[in-house]
Structure 1
Amino acid sequence: MQRRSFLTALAAFAALPRVSTAGPALAEAVPFSLDGLYGKARDLALMPYRPMPEVPQEWKDLTYDQYRKIWFRGADAIWRDTDSPFQVELFHPGLYFPRPVKIALVEDGQARDLTFDFSLFDTSDDLPDLPLDDTLGYSGFRLSTELKNPGNFEEFFVMQGASYFRAIARGQNYGQSARGLAIGTASDQGEEFSDFTHFWIERAATGQQEITVHALLNSPSVTGIYSFDITPGAPTIMDVRAQIYPRVELTRFGLGPLTSMFLFDETNRSMFDDFRPAVHDTDGLLMRNGAGETLWRPLANPKSLQVSSFVDHDPKGFGLMQRARDLADFADLEAHYHTRPGLWVEPGEDWGNGAVTLVEIPADREIYDNIVAYWQPREALKAGSMHPFSYRLSWGEDPVLQSPVARVLNTRMGERFGGGRIVTIDFEDSADLPEDLNTLTLHASSSAGEVTPAIIQRNPQTGGVRMAFTFHADEATFAELRAQIILDGRSISEVWLYRWTV
């Protein structure tokens, strides 16, 4: 999964000077309706799965550097020099993207497919000769709008590769990804990656702040139609509506799947010889469960695959967040991890029984996406039927929650002289924190081994408080740790959770 650095590099070409041509060619118009898309997905689910055709081998054999030597001319962006509040640029196929997709523009109830035109791309002089035939097509697209200044169109959304997509809020840089559906993640049978194979992009009216994109999902197990109503800003909001048509019964699947990278921070810094104090796109899983509790689970880079399930009923939301927001947290002048977006998933209807599922995969380099989070419903999806889901994605900072409690700002761990591991948890300042900290009840526990009684102190650097205790694993190789601050029988902090492994 080296797509992350790859897509980031592509953005650099947007600033290069362009020479305008005629723009993308359009096929004949056909009537468009959402009901028609649903019928297309329903009919497709009744037929055997057939993947999209692949491009010629020469395109698939492009190296990373060679692929970057082809870029779309910004002067030929769709709806450029019009009154449209959005513009669209296209990606070519090859390398990590061997199967082209179909992209259509929707205006006035009519859809027109874009035909592939290699002349819309500039190339470097040393690019090898590539065959042009009917198998070629675009591999995805990106959207831009006037995020900050009038007349300056900036990219905020990318859709490319399988069913992956990424977005940013104003002033942020790309980080984690989302995708349409997770199937068989971390299962013994292996994961199935569904593809968005067709896109329909509706032209937004003049002055409209929202753009709508529809996508057809297809894989051996399922088809579906996803509609994204996207409003860029701070945060960037996506309202997602999906109708899913399983070909087979789906038992291991995830809604609202998120993919991120976590290499190290103060909990596992000793594992890496690196000049930076931390490297991660996100540093924790935030959850608001059906009971109204707010939970924070710091991410880990384990030595073996770890799957954590947080059982719940009708969750209020979950997401992978980046709480380290200072440049000094990373000391990286190029990656800008401190400006990567958090991503919050908010169900649009009751999701019933299930579990927020966190998958942590060992990684030794920051180019690998090794963190996955999603909602796993308890009930399977029956084959031959339609299943609707909706949810909202918020790309940006932490979400604004009702009945807020003191957030966890940071977690640190290290060996204690004489045995055990010191655990410190920094909580932000809160109006609920009393002047006299002795009136607080501190909860710290472990499912294995033992923990010492917790202590709490003011932290002059954060303005909040620090809770600390020592964990003794004894003979245990695995333990679930839990901590929180309680006042008058009520939790006034997030519930801190952590899975410790040897």
Structure 2
Amino acid sequence: MRMHNVTPDRREFICGLLGSLASAGIADQAFAQNSHPMGPSQPFSFEGLIERAKQRSAEPYKQPYRPAPEIVSKIDYATHGKIVFKADQALNANGPGAYPIEFFHLGMYFPKKVSINLIESETSQEILFSADYFDMPKDSVARGLPSDAGFAGFRLHESRRRKDWKHQDWMVFLGASYFRSIGSLNQYGLSARGIAVDVSVPTPEEFPDFVEFYIDPARKEGDPTFVYALLDGPSISGAYKFAVIRTDGAVMDVDARLFARRPIQQLGIAPLTSMFWYGEYNRMRLIDWRPEVHDSDGIALWTGKGERIWRPLNNPRRVVTSSFQDTNPLGFGLLQRDRNIENYLDGVNYDRRPSLWVQPLHDWGKGSVQLVEIPTQDEIHDNIVAFWVPEQAIEAGTSLNFRYRLHWRAEEPFPAEQLADVFATRIGRGGEPGQDHTATPDAVKFVVEFEGGALAGLTTEAPPQGTASTSRGMLTDVIVEPIPRTERWRARFDLKGADGVDPVELRLFLHIGEQAFSETWAFQFWPDQPAG
């Protein structure tokens, strides 16, 4: 079993880190608010970075620099929490740029040096590390790091015009090729990453690193911050251009130029990484007191043919990869649709976790959106991964270019206005209330609730119909009815005779005649896994 965390820091470490560190940064001559040592000026262009990535892919892979591993391995969560960047060192703390920038110290979970550079016009300078940028205990083991230790990553803070900017960041690049944003509801949750390599194939998964960053800060609020990154791993190198804009959430335009160093079985483009422990339809009794625990509750797809699909997430018994074949997809994303705090009831704000939508900015051709679900027994690991896999074989020397836009928001950015969304999925024993359920011991009832779209104007005199299908077993007739005292409708049916250990693929949608009134609900049901 593979655990897909943002390196081991994924939950407890990074969440605590983002809440405890003070903001910081370094300025060059163009942002001369402080005096900090900088490396020599070097020419910079995205075209030059692309060429460097291409050249790297033709050379043997070299591991990133790990400064003083005997020291860094001792900088655990508690030790790292006492290493605080000095707030008055923040890049753009006093202008002229809009968003102050902080840099992260190395630690047990971030042991590799990442070169961070500032761009001015067509040149760049590396920001040189110094322990003087940090407040730390006099006896901290981190004081023994060498002068070339470097930083682990960086984060963008809210506008310096806000009084709380020192305590509120909105975008983080930290760990391997991971990055994430707080979205519209000011809460971190799922992550994105630059690339995914062999997530669910027999060979070990590979985690390429962003080894160099080049930052061109936004001059005023609403302007993009440009972040350029050099990616390198055993199988692939790449050059990335991120145009990051703070809106009501966050929007990122990504231009990825990729060069394969060796053959890759499964190359994941625009990968999203999240956590799903349990929801209303698969809660495990006596495991945890909360009604639901997840960063995301489903994957939404907008296919190249225009179909809208909602697939609730699972915590399966074994690693499962689901493939949705497509040509030129219009978008996909991992969403957190359930915003009712009563369904979580804890203090970590699962109801405010962002949704993340991938919008291709050109034709991606043939391939598949793949969803990987990994068993987990708790909430500290990311066990959900979604990405696009191109149909073409990735051989040594293959070059690829993918452009896409990431939307970090509360809701899906391009809803189908006339189609109802899936509101909830519920599972129980088959049959009807008051009946002898021993007569249908193998029947399982599914209830799918829909909300919004054209459903609002329908009545029981002209209700929608439901069409359902299954990959195994038999389905009873679908009953569609309004839910009393709500504006929702539900479709319910029983599944019979679907024995075995393999999953059953179910599909359902609402319609009147040939006109669809809902997105397609697609569900993977495990007959041998109790619903709750």
List per-residue Cα deviations over 1:159-190 (Å, max 9, x = no partner): 01100001122332000000011110111011
Offset at 1:318?
0.4
List per-residue Cα deviations over 1:257-280 (Å, max 9, x = no partner): 000000011111134532210000
Q: 239-248 vs 470-479, which deviates more? A: 470-479
Offset at 1:483?
0.7
Counterpart Cα distance in 2 of 1:297 and 1:444: 14
Q: 1:476 to 1:33 in 2, by over 3 A?
A: same
Q: Does 1:311 align with 2:325?
A: yes
Counterpart residue number, 1:4:
11
Counterpart residue number, 2:81:
68
Counterpart Cα distance in 2 of 1:207 and 1:456: 49
Counterpart residue number, 1:32:
44
List per-residue Cα deviations over 1:385-407 (Å, max 9, x = no partner): 43211001000122223554100
The letter for the 2-side match of 1:355 is S
Counterpart residue number, 1:450:
474
Q: 1:49 to 1:17 in 2, by over 3 A?
A: closer
Counterpart Cα distance in 2 of 1:134 and 1:17: 18
List per-residue Cα deviations over 1:66-120 (Å, max 9, x = no partner): 2222122222111211121111100011211111110000012220101111111
Offset at 1:138?
0.3
Question: 3-state DSSP class of the match of 2:132?
Answer: helix
Q: Does 1:421 align with 2:434?
A: no
Counterpart Cα distance in 1 of 2:196 and 2:514: 39
Counterpart Cα distance in 1 of 2:130 and 2:484: 60
Q: 136-145 vs 411-420, which deviates more? A: 411-420
Counterpart contact for 1:293–1:494, Cα < 8 Å:
yes
Counterpart Cα distance in 2 of 1:249 and 1:186: 16
Counterpart Cα distance in 2 of 1:425 and 1:437: 21
Counterpart residue number, 1:493:
518
Counterpart Cα distance in 2 of 1:98 and 1:484: 49
Counterpart contact for 1:264–1:272, Cα < 8 Å:
no
Q: Does 1:55 align with 2:70?
A: no
List per-residue Cα deviations over 1:103-146 (Å, max 9, x = no partner): 00001222010111111112246634642215511000001122
List per-residue Cα deviations over 1:18-69 (Å, max 9, x = no partner): 9x99564311211211111111111111110001121211211322212222
Counterpart Cα distance in 1 of 2:59 and 2:194: 21
Counterpart contact for 1:242–1:389, Cα < 8 Å:
yes
Counterpart residue number, 2:228:
214
Q: 1:497 to 1:231 in 2, by over 3 A?
A: same
**Which residues in structure 2 correspond to 1:124-203 (within 5 Å)?**
124=137, 127-128=140-141, 130-146=143-159, 150-153=162-165, 154-203=168-217
Counterpart contact for 1:55–1:94, Cα < 8 Å:
no
The letter for the 2-side match of 1:421 is V
Counterpart contact for 1:428–1:462, Cα < 8 Å:
no
Counterpart Cα distance in 2 of 1:207 and 1:337: 28
Counterpart contact for 2:275–2:295, Cα < 8 Å:
yes
The letter for the 1-side match of 2:362 is E
Counterpart Cα distance in 2 of 1:174 and 1:424: 31
The letter for the 2-side match of 1:455 is I
TM-score (norm 2): 0.89
Count of aligned pairs: 499
List per-residue Cα deviations over 1:303-332 (Å, max 9, x = no partner): 111110011111110000000102112111
Q: 187-196 vs 381-390, which deviates more? A: 381-390
Q: Does 1:431 align with 2:448?
A: no
Counterpart contact for 2:361–2:405, Cα < 8 Å:
yes
The letter for the 2-side match of 1:354 is G
Counterpart Cα distance in 1 of 2:355 and 2:147: 40
Q: 1:94 to 1:16 in 2, by over 3 A?
A: closer
TM-score (norm 1): 0.94
Counterpart residue number, 2:314:
300
Counterpart residue number, 2:30:
none
List per-residue Cα deviations over 1:440-499 (Å, max 9, x = no partner): 221122111122111122124541111111222442332101111011212110100011
The letter for the 2-side match of 1:84 is G
Q: 1:88 to 1:129 in 2, by over 3 A?
A: closer
List per-residue Cα deviations over 1:196-222 (Å, max 9, x = no partner): 000000022245521110000100111
Counterpart contact for 2:22–2:85, Cα < 8 Å:
no
Counterpart Cα distance in 2 of 1:437 and 1:427: 18
Among 238, 241, 254, which residue is 1:227 paired with? 241
List per-residue Cα deviations over 1:410-438 (Å, max 9, x = no partner): 11112344332221111103325522365
Counterpart Cα distance in 1 of 2:454 and 2:520: 17
Counterpart residue number, 2:135:
122
Counterpart residue number, 1:98:
111
The CA RMSD over aligned residues, in Å, is 2.2
Counterpart Cα distance in 1 of 2:17 and 2:524: 37
Work out the percentage of aligned pairs sharing the same amino acid. Answer: 35
Q: 1:217 to 1:129 in 2, by over 3 A?
A: closer
Counterpart contact for 1:24–1:120, Cα < 8 Å:
no
Q: 1:487 to 1:185 in 2, by over 3 A?
A: same
Offset at 1:384?
2.3
The letter for the 2-side match of 1:384 is G
